[in-house]
Amino acid sequence: MRRFIGLMSGTSLDAVDGALIELDEGGAGLRTAAFASHPFDHALRDELEALQEPGPDELSRAAMSANRLADAYARVVARLLAETGCPASAITAIGAHGQTVRHRPELGYTIQLLNPARLAEACGIAVVSDLRAADVAAGGQGAPLAPAFHAQVFRHAAERRAVVNLGGIANVSLVPPGAPDAEAVLGFDTGPANTLLDGWCRRYTGAAFDCGGDWARGGRSDAALLEAWLAEPYFGVAPPKSTGRDLFNSDWLDRSLAATSDARAPDPCDVQATLVELTAVTVARACRALRSDRIFVCGGGARNRFLMERLAAHAAPTPVASTQALGIDPQAVEAAAFAWLAAQRVDRLPGNLPSVTGARGARVLGLLAEPRPRE
């Protein structure tokens, strides 16, 4: 048995998630042994958010943020090792996503901030990072990468399963039934989720996120505003496709509100309710187009009860549940995916799916940072 750790900080900028997985020899069996999450300190979150846009001295600021993020990642690794009683020597490698600050595959690049050498040095464990670049170099979107993992752990003999990650950006994986070569796995980013919900909530309530969706539940979805948002060209683009804060950010939201509002500004609570509806509608449409039999949700949005209710309403009669029903904590799925991608890199096996990203072919993903030699 081998052990790997996956670390994920997503576009919602809420926390670093970490999962420790155990793989049987040959990769046949996989178990999530532990999960830990550590919130960003506010200063780091604010700086990472600011680095989404061009600014003064951004090269130095980005390098310093990459160092601070590596330190935050190392704290999560330490928690996982302490909780499981595993020494660092028991971990084959860490798969570390880093923080996406630019994602422009149409221009041939994607940037994730992280200092992997610093993380490897701090933990005494090899680190696999820069996991998207090889796919982008091969003409792919570099995202989403989780569908290959979803197919590995969630495939069913008879059901067409849609696995939806409600992170900062929502994405969907279609895992067809039967043998892996019977039908291609599909997947793409459907649009915004927590990145807009959390940002709007912070602006008007001061809370980091809308716990359970209770604030949104008190509002009323604005049909005209929703229709205007659904006219965003991204939603009409055929897959493969991916998106991020480069498009769906506070400026996008403010511009759309200014363009659609009459003399009276919309109630902030109603805007939150409409943002929930936007995510629910776009995800449900994607799952319907993929002809899924059941929908399983992971990511932070799985804890948003109101969002889950609205998704279930729009997806009906297709059943909706969290991945807890399949035995994996919805919070742990994406971090576990990057642990699995680290194992693929160590074994020199492909980590991308060309049917998802549009790359010219399968590629081994990630660069390896080795720690100091173990004694």
Q: What was the pLDDT predicted at 12? A: 80
* Cα separation values, 152 from 82, 103, 148, Å: 28, 26, 6
Q: In the prediction, which pLDDT does 194 show?
A: 96
Q: What is the mean pLDDT of residues 18-41?
A: 90
pLDDT band at 172 (very low <50, low <70, confident <90, very high): very high
Do residues 322 and 308 share a domain? yes
Q: Which residues are paired to 278 by β-bridges?
A: none
Does residue 11 sit in the same domain as residue 98? yes
Token output for 375 = 């004694």
Q: Is residue 74 part of a domain?
A: yes
Are 342 and 308 part of one and the same domain?
no
Residue 375 lies in a domain: no
Residues 77 and 200 in one domain: no
pLDDT at residue 257 tops 60 = yes
Decide if pLDDT at 262 tops 80. no
Domain for residue 173, yes or no?
Answer: yes
- Which pLDDT tens digit goes with each residue over 79-118? 999 999 999 999 999 999 999 999 999 999 999 999 999 9
271 and 341 in a single domain? The answer is no
Q: pLDDT at position 217, please?
A: 98
Do 345 and 306 belong together in one domain? Answer: no
Number of domains in the chain: 2
Question: 223 in a domain, yes or no?
Answer: yes
Asked if residue 230 is part of any domain, the answer here is yes
The torsion of the CA quartet 198, 199, 201, 204, rounded to 10 degrees, works out to 170
Considering the domain architecture, whether residues 162 and 307 belong to the same structural domain is answered as yes
Same domain, 135 and 198: no
Averaged pLDDT score across all residues of the chain: 95
Domain span at residue 60 reads 2-142+332-369
Cβ atoms within 10 A of the Cβ of 42, count? 9
Same domain? For 92 and 75 the reply is: yes
Residue type, 35: F
Please name the amino acid found at residue 316: A
Domain shared by 135 and 167, yes or no: no
pLDDT interval class at 76 (50, 70, 90): very high
On whether the pTM is more than 0.75, the answer is yes
Q: Are residues 131 and 199 in the same domain?
A: no
Rounded CA separation 25/22 (Å): 10
| Segment 24-43 mean pLDDT | 87
27 and 98 both lie in a single domain: yes
Confidence of residue 27 (pLDDT cuts 50, 70, 90): low
